[in-house]
């Protein structure tokens, strides 16, 4: 199950980038709320067994999103 959840988290970030690129802030807010809930569930479920490299990758994608440099998969790079 963690792999499916991790895939959903990555998909959330790509969907968020696409919504922001379209300036669809309503959808972006919905995606962000879902992402937050899934991320919390993922961390609570996996706990100390969370795949650290995968979490680092998610954090890196989130930083790219904040930097708004267009390098996020699914973006308009």
pLDDT in tens, 9-48: 989 999 999 999 999 999 999 999 999 999 888 888 888 7
What is the structure's pLDDT at 27?
96
What is the structure's pLDDT at 33?
94
Residue partners of 61: CB distance under 8 A and separation at least 6: 10, 13, 72, 73
Is 58 exposed, middle or buried, given 0-12, 13-18 or 19+ CB atoms closer than 10 A? middle
pTM: 0.73
- Ranges of each domain in the chain: 2-67
pLDDT in tens, 48-75: 788 888 888 888 988 888 786 555 555 4
What is the structure's pLDDT at 76?
45
Collapsing DSSP to helix, strand or coil, 37 comes out as helix
């Amino acid at each position: 199950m963690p792999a499916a959840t991790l895939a959903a988290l990555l998909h959330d970030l790509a969907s968020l980038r696409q919504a922001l690129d379209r300036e669809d802030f309503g959808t972006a807010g919905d995606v962000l709320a879902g992402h937050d809930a899934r991320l919390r569930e993922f961390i609570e479920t996996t706990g100390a067994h969370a795949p650290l490299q995968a979490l680092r990758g998610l954090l890196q994608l989130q930083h790219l999103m904040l930097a708004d440099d267009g390098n996020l998969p699914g973006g308009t790079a």
